[in-house]
Amino acid sequence: MTQRVDLATVMDRLAVDEVISEYAVAVDDGDWETYQGLFAPGGRADYRSAGGIEGDAAEVGGWLTRSMELFPMRQHLIVNRRIRFGSLEHDTGDTAHVQADYINPMRFAGHDSGSTAPDFVCGGRYAFALVRTYEGWRLREVVVREKWRHASDRQPAMP
């Protein structure tokens, strides 16, 4: 590889990593407009393994808006990111696949015990598929594979 190709690959890795970080921040902050803007046209997400839904970014964004009201404190971490680049229409580097682990501590709404500790924690692995667009890298697919969860005995009554 030439030095120029190596630099382009590094820049793409940084750009893909930035999309994944923006995804985590958007979900934790409840910024559903930004969440939807991270997806390419036709992009989809699948949260079924975590008790959620599968659908296009707008549909899943609406579901997240409603379901995350139960958890006003969220701070999930996406770690161990493995990025692999692929090709689209024979142009190397137009797709990326990221496999990354996550841990997601959350706090239920209405817990006024004075503690800020999470009372629900889950973890698992994400599979992100990205595509290069004219606007930059965008999510084509997000699949959540929850592996475990732990909830305290002090769960609120579900509506």
41-45, 49-53, 90-94, 123-127: which range is least confident on average? 90-94
pLDDT of residue 3 exceeding 90, the answer is: no
CATH classification of 3-151, choosing from 3.10.450.50, 3.40.50.2000, 3.40.50.300, 3.40.50.150?
Answer: 3.10.450.50
Average pLDDT for 28-54: 97
Is the pLDDT at 158 greater than 50? The verdict is no
Average pLDDT over every residue of 26-51: 96
The rounded distance, in Å, linking the Cα atoms of 106 and 100 is 19
Question: What's the average model confidence in pLDDT over 50-78?
Answer: 94
- Report domain extents, the chain: 3-151
Q: Which pLDDT score, from 0 to 100, does residue 154 have?
A: 56
What mean pLDDT value characterizes the chain? 88
Place of tokens 């959350």: 106
The pLDDT tens digits of the residues spanning 82-110 come to 999 986 655 566 899 999 999 999 988 87
Q: How many residues does the chain have?
A: 159
153, pLDDT greater than 80: no
Whether 147 has a pLDDT exceeding 90, the answer reads: yes
What's the pLDDT score for residue 29? Answer: 96
Closest to 45 in 3D by CA, of 25, 23, 16, 66: 23
What does the pLDDT read at residue 157? 44
d(CA 158, CA 40): 34
Tell me which residue has tokens 């699948």: 46
Distance CA 144, CA 13 (A): 21
